[in-house]
Structure 1
Amino acid sequence: MVMRREKRYEEYAWVLDFIVRGTPRSKSRIRGRPFAQVIGENFFTLLEVSVREGVILSVFERVFVGKDNREKIDHILGRIGYKDLTFSAKVELPRVIEYIILHREREFVDFFNKAHPITPRMHSLELLPGIGKKYMWAIINEREKKPFESLKDVQERTGIPSPVKLLAKRIIEELMGESKYYLFVRMP
């Protein structure tokens, strides 16, 4: 029996960089046409997309990349890796990810409320940069008292400096492919 991974598609993406004329890394046959590097909103998939003629995108713009009736995007050129991002896209990536985290705050609060051990010696909370045993136990003890209601609540009750920045760092690590476990990003 062959196990197949379920295909997941992004519906919306956030623009990291817009190139008016250039050669995308994913498709060398499309030269001189406008394209953009974007990050998916749900699975943090890095994509290159061909932009419709006459459309100008701005960084931080949310665009529809789903299957039907794309207004600004002509078609998806393909998935790309972190190393394929332009310098500008790499610079904007942390800010855009932080913005997506705040946009989907409820889901990330649920992560803190429902995170579980991965192995008998490692908890999924410990995969976040800066979270060791001390903060892990602070999170677990506080969520047993009362579930967290917001990321600010996580910060105030546990003393974690900035949950949004920690989550963003973890997502970037996963995008770079430096991770054994994937919590937020679709596996390559």
Structure 2
Amino acid sequence: MNAKGKRPEREEYAWVLDYLPYGNPNDKRPTYQKKPLVQAVGDKQFVLMELIPKEGYTPEIQSRVYIGEGDRKEIDHVKRRIRFNDLSSGSQLELPFVLEQSVKHHEERFVKFFNEAHPITTRLHMLELLPGIGKKLMWAIIDERKKGDFKSFADLHERVSAMHTPEKVIVNRILEELKDDNIKYRLFTRPIHHRQD
């Protein structure tokens, strides 16, 4: 959950979801006017976006590309931020797999979430926002982490056996947040009304 009033950090890397050589299929302009497009998801805040690739570059699906400041090898620029419903069907199919790669890539960050998650209100804990985690599993995680921080997803699963695949639980929460613009609590994503320029 991001601190209010703090300017959101820009994404520096993105994961390629789909390559559209003839641009967005919803773009009604004639084909010759359309440029190739890449649909991607940001590496840190899971911002969905369209990128313009550099001429002659065809990105691989599920590859991680640099989109930050300075010299970009593959991407010319970020075109715009998009919503889940703007994604091509190919992008929507790839998204869970790409998110899992990203979550595993940043395992330390998400293990830290399990170690530091706290109550949001007197009746609701951050852990309960994760799909499949009810009061019983929440308390099992809290009781176990009192004995010492979790070191990895494997450590978490080993110590809390009902927590089968922590990375998939995180991915499912990110998907919920990406699909619902009006979701009340955001743990891992940024709302669409912030501009990604």
Return the TM-score normalized by structure 2: 0.89
Equivalent residues of 1:24, 1:48 under 8 A apart: no
Q: Is 1:26–1:48's contact at 8 Å kept on the other side of the alignment?
A: no
The letter of the residue matching 1:74 is D
Structure 1 residue 179: deviation in Å?
A: 2.1
Displacement after TM superposition at 1:22 (Å): 2.1
In the alignment, does 2:14 pair up with 1:13?
yes
Q: Distance in 1 between matches of 2:46 and 2:134?
A: 25
1:105 to partner: Cα distance: 0.2
2:178 maps to which of 168, 175, 180: 175
Among all aligned residue pairs of Structure 1 and Structure 2, give the percentage whose two residues are the same amino acid. Answer: 45
Local SS of the residue matching 1:153: helix
Matched residue, 1:55: 57
- Aligned equivalents of 2:138, 2:116: Cα separation in 1: 12
Aligned 1:22-41 pairs, distance under 5 A: 22-23=23-24, 31-41=33-43
Greater relative CO (CA pairs within 8 A, separation 6+): 2
- Structure 1 residue 31, shift from structure 2 partner: 4.1
Cα distance change, pair 101–28 in 1 and its aligned pair in 2 (3 A): farther
Q: Give CA-to-partner distance per residue, 1:25-73, whole Å, 9 cap, x none.
A: 6997994211100010011100100111100101111100112111111
Query: Which residue does the alignment assign to 1:79?
Result: 81
Q: Distance in 2 between matches of 1:170 and 1:106?
A: 17
Question: Which residue matches 1:163?
Answer: 166
> For 1:65-144, what aligned pairs fall within 5 Å after superposition?
65-144=67-146
Aligned to 2:195: none
Query: Root-mean-square deviation (CA), in Å?
Result: 2.1
Superposition TM-score, scaled by structure 1 size: 0.93
Match of 1:185 in 2: 189
Deviations 1:145-188 (A, max 9, x none): 11100011111111212111110000000011252100000122
In the aligned structure 2, how far is the partner of 1:165 from the partner of 1:78?
28
